[in-house]
Amino acid sequence: MKTGIAIYLGLDNTFEENIQLIETAAKYGVQRIFTSLHIPETDKSSLKKQISEVLNIAKKNNMEVISDISPATLEILGIEKFNLSAFQFLGIQTLRLDYGYDAEQITKFSHNTKKIRIQLNASTITARLLMELMKLGANFANIDSLHNFYPREGTGISEETLVRKNSLLHKAGIRVGAFIPSQHRRRSPLKAGLPTLEMHRHNDVSLAARHLAAIGIDSIFIGDSLPSIEELETLSQIKENEIEVKAQLLSSDEFTRNLLSHTFTARVDEARDAVRAQESRSLLNGTCIKSANTKVRSYGSITLDNEDYLRYMGELQIIKMPQPADKRVNVVGKVLNNEEFLLNYIIPGKKFSFIFE
């Protein structure tokens, strides 16, 4: 899972704060920096003064810089005409073509010899544009994509839209990134967060990032101006190809607690009423699970079959259909209510694990 931050020169942060953000993010393994060079509220004089040094700091920390550009960017930077060499000289490795560029131009840029990658706007991508790029012979090995963020409340896209756009891009072999908001310092002028999905606007970094990972996003960026150290650390811990769900632990048994710390795989023969872990019974190693807390199993309950279930002892499930109490089944945990929607992504063959509060 690639991770990223956003730097907005000439906006909220001081020069020193931007440098500190880059260096702190690098310590937590963040590999990418997004910056926009055509935000209307930007202090253009500050941007011009700071851009070279900020990009040099990013280079020293081996971070890829993605610049969101439009034809207006050329005027801001004082570049007379579009010239990849000028962006390469600044230290920008990836150009996100926001608007104003057609399929022929994108195709031409994708074959550049300057080792500059091209990034498409994933939120506005269409099947028609992808077909045109294919017909024109675009170099898809040099193209990836990144969704928009949405500063105004109520304008973020839906999960359905994001999944549909991702499907188009993944079928073409193009990797996809998206934004989540920070709850620490939000970017001006609206300061309402910068998520791709509207449903993430008030979510913490952990839940929003784990949701994007569950959907299949390849790269996650914190869009706001100055994420906290805790948010950067949380982002660095997000796992790719694994659904992580926060839950309440309801067992004090040491063996049970250790067993629940493993990563599991959802069985491919999907049950109607529960997610069944493929590996749990094989982890017993001769340990006997005694009956305990055999209460009603509500939606999101995490259960472990005890010795009374004979050869099923050690069967771990997450309940999808409420079930009555059974003396053979221990309730050892409960998925947090606001995390229950993540169970929809634990499909057959998918890895999953628990984060206990």
Closest by Cα among 3, 43, 23 to 188? 43
Q: In what order do the strands lie in the sheet with 274-276?
A: 264-265, 351-356, 242-249, 329-335, 301-305, 316-319, 274-276
In the chain, which residues fall in CATH 2.40.100.10?
Answer: 245-356
Round to the nearest angstrom and report the end-to-end CA distance of the chain.
24
Mean pLDDT of 115-126: 96
The phi, psi pair for 340, rounded to 5°, reads -60, -30
pLDDT tens for 224-279 read 999 999 999 999 999 999 999 999 999 999 999 999 999 999 999 999 999 999 99
Please say if the pLDDT value at position 13 is more than 90: yes
DSSP string, 40-78: TT--HHHHHHHHHHHHHHHHHTT-EEEEEE-HHHHHHHT
Please say if the pLDDT value at position 99 is more than 90: no
- The whole-angstrom separation of Cα 187 and Cα 194 is 8
CB 179 within 8 A of CB 155: no
Please say if the pLDDT value at position 76 is more than 80: no
* Residue with the larger pLDDT of the pair 71 and 230: 230
Domain covering 2-240 in this structure, CATH number? 3.20.20.70
Closest by Cα among 329, 346, 325, 166 to 256? 329
Superfamily designation of domain 245-356: Cyclophilin-like (2.40.100.10)
Closest by Cα among 179, 159, 188 to 235? 179
pLDDT tens for 192-226 read 999 999 999 999 999 999 999 999 999 999 999 99
pLDDT of residue 90: 85
pLDDT tens for 180-195 read 999 999 999 999 999 9
pLDDT tens for 148-159 read 999 999 999 999
Mean pLDDT of 39-49: 81
Beta strand pairing call for 242-249 and 351-356: parallel
In the chain, which residues fall in CATH 3.20.20.70?
Answer: 2-240
